[in-house]
Amino acid sequence: MGVIRALAMGCALAALALTSTGCIASHTGHPSAPVISSVKASSATSAAVSSALTPSPPAQAASSASPGVGSTAAGAASTDPTPLPAASSSNALPTPGPTGPLTVFADVTIKGGFSSTETGLTVAQGPDGAVFVAGKVASPQIIWVVDGVGPAGIAEHVRGPVTALAADAANLYVGVGQSVTAYSRTTGNVVRTWQTALPGTLTQLVVAGTKVWGLSTGSADDSNGAPDGLVELDPASNSPVRSVTGFAGTFSLAAGLSSIYYVTKQSTELVQQTNAGATVTAPTNQQVNLQLSGPSAIQAVAVVDGQVIVQHDAGQGLDAQLNAYDATTLVGPTAQTNFAADEPIAPTDSGLFVVGNSDSAACTAGQTACVRRFSMSAGNVGDPLALPDDTIASAVTGPYPTVVVARGSNLHVLRIS
């Protein structure tokens, strides 16, 4: 991996002043300044790469340059490259094949990045595989970045709490309250900030082609029927493109190449909003037990291979099912695939991946948490890879299969191969 150069004085002063502009250093071929993180490569992958960085004042990290091969100890450049798995990308990140055992290719630790008072993780991955993680709520709040398999660095200091993240090749998008701020992934500077004026709080940001979409929810469980809202943003424009309001019960967006999808009207309607300004609707054609499942039982969770994947929680324990609709015509649903209501799922370049627990069918006996492949036609595929027993919270993200887990006060970014 390319290493991180020390910040220029201007960035250092900005960080000390605790401003929300943040600074991001760029990759060079020189030794990096120390960061509060450690990197551990899988023994099956490389015995040469193993570093533990001792705590010291963190340096800002680049979040845009493609990482090279290898990892870096504090203050010293790596000389031995990390052998890659048989199937891998040009930026040294693993791209697992459709079969075969899963392994942890690299474990990047962010020390002190999590608080036990947190209830979840806010994570995003850029198209180059850079993973952004919102650290524990503080003033300011740190957004961490992990490029490739190198040590973590600080992408931004922001005035949180951060409720949503997204990234494209150029920018990192940060949702706080009702605002979205774009930070340049090259300089770390604020590109622009949008005030959405939506009801509630921004809970999700997604990139759909050339546009960024935000979902704002009025309540955590739709118990009071509070209204939700959508905002469409053009990274090149200072003003939002449009807002969509007047709907409720939506807690998840699924992003396609040039559209986003969601379910509303007590789970009876699937909606497509296109970047061209069109709104397309179709019935979900599914029966929902409103007493058991509630009005938000069906949510759009992913777009894969031209299909919109929706999750239908039955309201009885963890019972759930996945169905698919054609992403162009919205025709559906397909036959159901059994699932668990509390399993995070993410599309990756290697297919769907899920994180399971001891209460779901994804993990085998003796595993308290795991990650595995998933198929809409077959359900769970292959053998699950066990995650640490003391995992408190987890999130799975693509396009490169990556699981972020919280263990104690630390965050771990696990690259899966």
In a domain, 299, yes or no: yes
Q: Is residue 86 domain-resident?
A: no
- Mean of pLDDT over the chain: 80
What tokens were used for 293?
């499942």
For residues 32-48, average pLDDT = 41
Three-state secondary structure call for residue 308:
strand
Q: 37 falls in which pLDDT band (50, 70, 90)?
A: very low
| pLDDT band at residue 41 under the 50/70/90 scheme | low
Is pLDDT above 50 for 54?
no
Q: Is residue 83, in this structure, part of any structural domain at all?
A: no
Mean pLDDT of 220-240: 84
Greater pLDDT, 14 or 388: 388
Please determine, for residue 98, whether its predicted confidence score (pLDDT) is greater than 90.
no
Question: How much is the average pLDDT of 179-183?
Answer: 98
- The DSSP result for 83-98, as a single string, is PPPSSB-TTS-B---S
Note down the domain range covering 306.
Answer: 3-74+94-416
Q: What is the dihedral of CA 291, 293, 296, 298, to 10 degrees?
A: -140
| Domain-embedded: residue 89 | no
Q: Would you place residue 92 in the very low, low, confident or very high pLDDT band (cuts 50, 70, 90)?
A: confident
Indicate the pTM of the whole model: 0.81
Per-residue pLDDT band at 23 (split at 50, 70, 90): very low
Would you say residue 84 lies in a domain?
Answer: no
Is the pLDDT confidence value at 68 over 90?
no
pLDDT at 359: 83
Q: Is residue 400 a part of any domain in this protein?
A: yes
| Cβ-Cβ contacts under 8 Å for 269 (sequence gap 6 or more) | 263, 281, 282, 283, 284
pLDDT of residue 78: 31
CB of 301 closer than 8 Å to CB of 309: yes
Q: Output 219 or 30, whichever has higher pLDDT.
A: 219
Alpha-carbon gap, residue 334 to 312, rounded angstroms? 13
Whether 85 is in a domain gets the answer no
pLDDT at 27: 28
Share of the chain above pLDDT 70, in %: 76
Rounded to whole angstroms, the Cα distance separating 180 from 164 reads 9
**Which residue in this structure is represented by tokens 């759909």?**
208
Residue 219 confidence (pLDDT) above 80:
no
**Residue 48 pLDDT grade (very low, low, confident, very high; cuts 50, 70, 90):** very low
Query: Does 256 reside within a domain?
Result: yes
Return the closest-CA partner of residue 121 out of 174, 165, 72, 89. 165
Say how far apart CA 346 and CA 337 lie, in whole Å: 16
CATH number at residue 317: 2.130.10.10
**Which residue would you say has higher pLDDT here, 238 or 69?**
238
- How many separate domains does the chain show? 1
Half-sphere exposure of 252 (CA within 13 A, CB side): 19
Strand ordering across the sheet containing 391-397: 50-52, 37-41, 104-110, 410-416, 402-407, 391-397
Poorest-pLDDT segment among 218-232, 239-253, 261-275: 218-232
Residue 230's pLDDT band (boundaries 50, 70, 90)?
Answer: very high
The pLDDT confidence band at residue 361, using thresholds 50, 70 and 90, is confident
Q: What percent of the chain has pLDDT over 90?
A: 63
